[in-house]
Amino acid sequence: MPRPALASPDRILAAAAAEFAERGYAGARVDRIAKRARVNKAMIYYHFRSKQELYRTLLRQTFTHAGEQLQAIAALDLPAGDQVDLAISGLASFVRKHAFFPGIMLREIAEGGVHLDSRTLAALSTVPRAFSAIIENGIAQKQFRPVHPFAAYLSTLAPIVMYHAAGPIRRELASGPLAAASTLQSDAFVQHLQQTARRALARTHS
Amino acid sequence: MPRPALASPDRILAAAAAEFAERGYAGARVDRIAKRARVNKAMIYYHFRSKQELYRTLLRQTFTHAGEQLQAIAALDLPAGDQVDLAISGLASFVRKHAFFPGIMLREIAEGGVHLDSRTLAALSTVPRAFSAIIENGIAQKQFRPVHPFAAYLSTLAPIVMYHAAGPIRRELASGPLAAASTLQSDAFVQHLQQTARRALARTHS
DNA sequence: GTCTATACTTCGATAGAC
DNA sequence: GTCTATCGAAGTATAGAC
């Protein structure tokens, strides 16, 4: 019998990621997670205490991972504009690698964070904190005009998450009432966001 | 006995809007909608056929309303830059007036539109179509540089929806690990987005 | 660690009286 | 149009054998 590629708890986490992203917390079914992970349902309650604890563990891991990636970019010895470029393309590649991230992120925002405990909230906060650090540093070094760092965070990174989460609905619209939705490729959108960020943050404006 | 401010079907729709926005489609409870609307649960199944039909009716109405508002802006005899300003502030006031809209929008995007029939999808598409028309018109009149209209749509209007949907979680973060999140006011963010759009769409860039 | 079987709860939806 | 009562399905979670 071939060893599974991932150990049981990791397989459960991967299956939970897909299930929670597709259906949301309330819509996710523990039975389906078990089936996707090819484990018995009782194993989920053995490794994790409950559906809620499974969900929180998954989000904590993911937010921590994303935050560390942004912090690494913020620590590079580069012009702030280049750091923003890297933050944008980095988040884009992060969501390509972790396809479940946008769905879960959007849902949890809509839920108002009701499923999150303080540890998970702290993990989540590392993402806007790291991005804000880049912006504030650029302002301090007079490479950027003064903007609210959180405004820059929302207007720059929110569209990436939205773009990827909206993939399925965009494909539905493309075959119907909104053909133009299908002509926007991921790379082109990343470039658009990088250009937009450069222009939004530039100290001079024609 | 005082007449209720809204007739029964409209009270049900208003209650459903709040419930679906807070809990999502799967998380919404018909019992709770009935309680919020102060009607008997059976009345919901009498006026609407099912939970799904209630949901679709609500979304169709809301998308149609939002689309019409944007189309009215697109029809104004104004410079394209001013039309974009109005589209941004108009959507911001729309979500202030319909507080349930961002939550439902984000959730339905994350769901991949699985609950939407073709009529509801058509209603949804009027929003990006109207905004794209403004952008394309501005490009044709050489007031904007050439950009992908759908990219402009996503990067301009997505942050507004995100900002308002993220209100509760932002307040949680503000009292903990991310104090800066609380200092961004709605009006200031709208202005930031208007400036960002002006700069992103300008034909010249220093 | 892994399974089967099941207790307990909640939900969407309806029947039927008024 | 409005109510009470309830059915049947589906869900989370656990007990207990191996």
Do the Cβ atoms of B181 and B163 come closer than 8 Å?
no
C1' of C10 to CA of A41 (Å)? 20
pLDDT number for residue B6: 82
**Which A residues 73-92 touch B at CB under 8 Å?**
none
Q: Which residue from B15, B174, B24 is spatially nearest to B103, judged by alpha carbons?
A: B24
- Taking the Cβ of residue B38 and every Cβ of chain A, the question of whether any pair is shorter than 8 Å is answered with no
CB of residue A45 closer than 7 A to nucleic acid strand D? yes
Do the Cβ atoms of A178 and B118 come closer than 8 Å?
no
DSSP result, B8-19? HHHHHHHHHHHH
In 3-state terms, what secondary structure has residue B171?
helix
pLDDT number for residue B30: 97
Q: Does B203 score more than 70 pLDDT?
A: yes
Give the mean pLDDT of chain A: 94
pLDDT number for residue B2: 46
* Mean pLDDT within B124-143: 98
Angle (CA) A104-A83-A160 rounded to 5° is 30
Residue A196: both structure tokens together: 């937009």
Q: Residues of A with CB below 8 A from B21's CB?
A: 110
Do the Cβ atoms of B149 and A180 come closer than 8 Å?
yes
Residue of A nearest to B205 (CA): A206
Do the Cβ atoms of A124 and A116 come closer than 8 Å?
yes
CB of residue B92 closer than 7 A to nucleic acid strand C? no
Per-residue confidence band for B1, with pLDDT thresholds at 50, 70 and 90 = very low
CB of residue A50 closer than 7 A to nucleic acid strand D? yes
Give the mean pLDDT of chain B: 95
Q: How far apart are CA A139 and CA B107, in angstroms?
A: 35
* Mean pLDDT within B178-206: 93
Give the HSE-up count for residue A194: Cα atoms under 13 Å, Cβ half-sphere: 19
Q: Residues of B with CB below 8 A from A183's CB?
A: 148, 150
Do the Cβ atoms of B129 and A166 come closer than 8 Å?
no
pLDDT number for residue A86: 98
Q: Does B93 score more than 90 pLDDT?
A: yes
Do the Cβ atoms of A106 and B107 come closer than 8 Å?
yes
pLDDT number for residue A54: 97
Q: Residues of B with CB below 8 A from A21's CB?
A: 110
* Mean pLDDT within B106-134: 96
Cα-based distances in Å from B137 to A173, A174, B156: 22, 21, 16
Question: Which of left, alpha, beta for A38 (phi over 0: left; psi -120 to 50: alpha)?
Answer: left
CB of residue A51 closer than 7 A to nucleic acid strand D? yes
Q: Residues of B with CB below 8 A from A112's CB?
A: 22, 167-169, 172
Per-residue confidence band for B129, with pLDDT thresholds at 50, 70 and 90 = very high
Residue of A nearest to B167 (CA): A112
Q: How far apart are CA B25 and CA B111, in angstroms?
A: 9
- Taking the Cβ of residue B140 and every Cβ of chain A, the question of whether any pair is shorter than 8 Å is answered with no
Judge: B173–A106 Cβ closer than 8 Å, yes or no: no
Q: Does B201 score more than 50 pLDDT?
A: yes
Report pLDDT digits (tens) over A135-174.
999 999 999 999 999 999 999 999 999 999 999 999 999 9
Residue ranges and CATH numbers for the domains of chain A are 1-49 (1.10.10.60), 56-201 (1.10.357.10)
- SS3 of chain A: CCCCCCCHHHHHHHHHHHHHHHHHHHHCCHHHHHHHHCCCHHHHHHHCCCHHHHHHHHHHHHHHHHHHHHHHHHCCCCCHHHHHHHHHHHHHHHHHHCCCHHHHHHHHHHHCCCCCCHHHHHHHHHHHHHHHHHHHHHHHCCCCCCCCHHHHHHHHHHHHHHHHHCHHHHHHHHCCCCHHHHHCCHHHHHHHHHHHHHHHHCCCCC
Judge: A150–B180 Cβ closer than 8 Å, yes or no: yes
Q: For residues A46-57, b (16+ Cβ closer than 10 Å) or e, as one string?
A: ebbeebeebbbb
Report pLDDT digits (tens) over B4-34.
578 799 999 999 999 999 999 999 999 999 9
Q: Does B160 score more than 60 pLDDT?
A: yes
CB of residue B200 closer than 7 A to nucleic acid strand D? no
pLDDT number for residue B61: 97
Token pair 């966001």 in the structure block, residue: A193
Averages of pLDDT over each 10 residues, chain A, 206 residues:
70 96 94 95 96 96 97 98 98 97 96 94 97 98 98 97 96 91 95 98 83
Do the Cβ atoms of B81 and B143 come closer than 8 Å?
yes
Query: What is the model's pTM?
Result: 0.94
Residue B66: both structure tokens together: 């939002």
- Taking the Cβ of residue A168 and every Cβ of chain B, the question of whether any pair is shorter than 8 Å is answered with yes
Residue A16: both structure tokens together: 């939970």
- Taking the Cβ of residue B1 and every Cβ of chain A, the question of whether any pair is shorter than 8 Å is answered with no
pLDDT number for residue B7: 74
Q: How far apart are CA B26 and CA B15, in angstroms?
A: 16
Report pLDDT digits (tens) over B62-84.
999 999 999 999 999 999 999 99
pLDDT number for residue A204: 84
- Pick B2 or A90 by higher pLDDT: A90
CB atoms within 10 A of CB B179: 10
Q: How far apart are CA A68 and CA B50, in angstroms?
A: 45
Residue B28: both structure tokens together: 């919404």
